[in-house]
Amino acid sequence: MTVQQSVFVVPPVVAVAQHRGLFAAAGVEVETKLVGSSHEQRRELDECRADVGITATDNLFAWNATGSDIAVIAQIETTTDLALTLRPKLPSTDGLDVIRLAVDAPTNGFAIVAYSMMARLGRTKDQYEIVEVGGVRERFESLIDNTADVTLLAPPLDEIGRDQGMTVAMRIAELVPSYPGLGIVSTRKVLSGKMDEIARYLRALAAAHRWMQQAAASEVEQELLATGLGQAAVASALAAVPQTLAPSGIGIRALAQLRDDLGMIVQGAPEAGDLIDLRPLQAAGLVPIHNREDGCEPL
């Protein structure tokens, strides 16, 4: 049995599950496709060339409003530790008339967070220029090569950037403490044909999370360091290990509120609750059939 996953970077829990043989133990082989933009990831999912994607859940508002049928089936972390980061040798944006803001897609995903942070910092839309460059690796490089002044980064790239002279202007906890972590998403067409494979995939990730919670701290730290994370990124990853893979209804409603505050509600987008499909987690035996409004308790 094979599951093809589409990711921008391999998340720590996936790396742990792979390294410790947990996918094999669950009876599933995982093939990873690295993508450079959310546009590319959406195509992979829509065309069934990827069974699951790990992505910003906000993408689903825009994707489903324009023809996709993609649901969030799990959440791999309590929150994504996003950092609005300035390029090297730029300690603040105070001296810039127009700020070049690098994003993946200008109308969805982490861009919504970036716009909200810019507003919180007192910058109006006419004070920054949107530069569409792609995923987190591409955005990081745009700061390095000075084609952008500011962008959103996440571990471990924010830590690597700090070592190269980048400055963090704001972190997600200062903006929306309930911001949801990266979601595992899939089309309902794929779910109808590969429910067993995806359930096995989710069981392996749940096993990886249990190991991260129960193993000796030094052992987990060494495992995560071996995946390429730095010390600060390891601490961030450990702090974001969820008790359950169930998506947070509260978090998804927080995404909708961010859009409302910016005047960026997507016409024709599903309601927040309609983005969640719990059937794979239920098939994996990881959540009960009846769930609370704000998510699910693990069995």
Per domain, the residue ranges of the chain are 2-79+179-283, 83-175
pLDDT recorded at residue 227: 80
Question: What top-level class would CATH report for the domain 2-79+179-283?
Answer: alpha beta
Q: Which CB contacts under 8 angstroms, 24+ apart, belong to 118-125?
A: 118/84, 119/262, 120/170, 120/174, 120/175, 121/84, 121/93, 121/169, 121/170, 123/93, 123/99
Q: How do beta strands 183-187 and 52-55 pair?
A: antiparallel
pLDDT recorded at residue 157: 87
| CATH architecture of the region 83-175 | 3-Layer(aba) Sandwich (3.40)
Write the single-letter amino acid at 190: V
* pLDDT by 10s per residue, the chain, length 299: 999 999 998 999 999 999 999 999 999 999 999 999 999 999 999 999 999 999 999 999 999 999 999 999 999 999 999 999 999 999 988 888 889 999 999 988 899 999 999 999 999 999 999 999 998 999 999 999 999 999 999 888 888 899 999 999 999 999 999 999 999 999 999 999 999 999 999 999 999 999 999 999 899 999 888 887 778 778 888 888 999 999 999 999 999 999 999 999 889 888 888 999 999 999 999 988 754 444 443 33
CA separation for the pair 70, 81 (Å, rounded): 24
The neighbour count for residue 141, using CB atoms within 10 Å, is 16
pLDDT recorded at residue 22: 97
Tell me if domain 2-79+179-283 and domain 83-175 are identical in fold: yes
pLDDT recorded at residue 297: 38
- Please give the structure tokens belonging to residue 44: 């992979």
